[in-house]
Chains A and B, each alone.
Chain A
Amino acid sequence: MPLLKRGTLHPISLVVDGVEVTGHAEPRMLLVDFLRRVLGATGTHVGCEHGICGACTIRLDGEPARACLLLAVQADGRRVDTVEGLASADGALSVLQDAFHRHFALQCGFCTPGMLMTLQGFLEDNPDPTKDQVRAALSGNICRCTGYSEIVDATLDAAARLRNQDQAATNPT
């Protein structure tokens, strides 16, 4: 890769929520700002801008990561998944989103995009977590409204439903 000079815009292309997109960014532009300002994808939130709150959590090549601690140019050629890709095209909520809805796992909703992206990856790795494991997974996401217990309940509920779905898919009756 050539040296990217400050103050000038550089073309980058990446796959965001399954769609190939291109845009321009200065070297110092954060990935979260690229998503929100260049692509207009404001579903990903930005809170603290120094890696503490977790609101900006996205998945980079499948791994949960802080979009405020990544440069847009670092995501060139990679896959980024955001909260905007969770619901299906017709607007139907994902199992996890639906559980958040039913359990009142959000109030102001500021933390929710980061919570969902963290938990989505977490449940793929650990489909049958304990309450403590969920709480540990959430330690990197701050919520100022819910007190977390509804979020934990929603996660355990979503995990159970996803397991049942899997079971139904493997043993059709």
Chain B
Amino acid sequence: MKPAEFDYLGAESPDEALDALGRHGEDARVLAGGQSLMAMLNMRLASQQILIDIGRIEPWRYVRADGGVIEVGAGTTQAELLAWPDLAAKAPLLAKALPHVGHLQTRSRGTVCGSLCHADPSSELPLCLAVLGGEVVLKSAKGSRTLAAKDFQTGMLSTARKPDEIAVAARFPVARAGTGYAFEEVTRRHGDFAIVAVAAAVSGPSVRVAVGGVADRPMVREWTGLTEADMADALNGLAWEMGGFDDIHATARYRRELVRRIGARVIEEARTCRS
């Protein structure tokens, strides 16, 4: 289908975008890469009075590592982050997960912050941000605030972002020496939404794991000093706790089985790839 009518503002500067969003509030929608929003507009699942395109705002296109944090600007695409030369060394988890985000023709436009704002329960970037304990920087014409991943994503396709705010940056902690990171997902086709996705960060006896695709947002657990048998029980408990659901792609029972199996595998991989 074709989108319904809207006005279009191609903002040239951060201030222009923030002012316009402040004036139009809920009538406006921020357009970054458009890889989710344009599809929703075309299907008329979304309709907006005005689109504020932030894709031309150069100051919002950057990746930089600073004080233990990798900060990714609102305009930075998934492909740009994937091509960042320090990615494998500074953010091995992102290096593993990003190739699974959509396809090369969508990563070239889709932004990192846009994916976090879309907040699909099965998408990879919110999962990575959750397991790493990252943050999102929100800005409006009135000021800015920074939210932890767990406070930012509030449910299925929903976040704590207010109508006049733009997620101007995502912050991922730099990988720590002695911690191993791993990611795996099961999908019907490469690049599709995950039926179940698991990411883990393991350092010594402590295991931090996040599961996507089952609950309404990534579920994070942290365990310390579990034996292998305890670990299996813990994963089983987590699988049941998340509930899961039957849909055209998989049954709830299959999803639980994936949590148990992939969970164990990802934790093991993270344990062995510790730097």
Contacts and interface: CB of A to CB of B under 8 A. Distances in A.
Given A3-B8, A74-B53, A54 B105 contact: yes
The majority secondary structure among interface residues of chain B is loop
Interface in A24-69: 26-28, 30, 33, 49-51, 54, 57, 60, 63-66, 68-69
Interface residues of A, number: 36
B263 to A, nearest CB: 25
A139 B103 CA distance: 7
B79 interface: yes
Contacts of B109: 60, 63, 65-66, 69-70
Given A66-B35, A69-B109, 4 more contacts: A51-B35, A118-B104, A118-B105, A140-B106
Given A54-B103, A63-B79, A66-B109, A28 B6 contact: yes
Which of B4, B10, B104, B106 has its CB near the most chain A CB atoms (within 10 A)?
B104
Contacts of B12: 1
Nearest to B9: A3
Given A28-B3, A139-B189, A140-B103, A1 B10 contact: yes
A71 B34 CA distance: 9
B39 interface: yes
Highest count of chain B CB atoms <10 Å: which of A30, A66, A70, A118 = A66
Contacts of B2: 28, 30, 33, 49
A9 interface: no
13 contacts: A1-B56, A3-B50, A4-B8, A27-B6, A50-B38, A50-B42, A65-B109, A66-B35, A66-B109, A68-B38, A74-B34, A118-B104, A140-B102
B10 A51 contact: no
A137 interface: yes
A53 to B, nearest CB: 11
B5 interface: yes
B135 to A, nearest CB: 28
B158 to A, nearest CB: 21
A37 B221 CA distance: 52
A140 B105 contact: yes
A1 B106 contact: no
Interface string B22-51: 000000000000110011011100000011
Contacts of A11: none
B190 A49 contact: no
Nearest to A26: B5
Contacts of A108: none
- Interface bin, chain B: 35 or more
Interface in A59-110: 60, 63-66, 68-71, 73-74, 76
Contacts of B178: none
Nearest to A52: B39
B170 to A, nearest CB: 21
Contacts of A64: 104-105, 108
B108 A139 contact: no
B248 interface: no
A4 B6 CA distance: 9
Nearest to B8: A27
Contacts of A66: 35, 105-106, 109
Nearest to A114: B105
Nearest to A61: B108
A99 B3 CA distance: 37
A64 B56 CA distance: 18
Nearest to A137: B104
A27 B79 contact: no
B66 interface: no
A70 B7 contact: no
B204 interface: no
B108 A65 contact: yes
Contact of B42 (A30, A65, A137): A30
A159 B41 CA distance: 38
Nearest to B52: A3
Nearest to A63: B108
Contacts of A49: 1-2, 42
Contacts of B43: 50
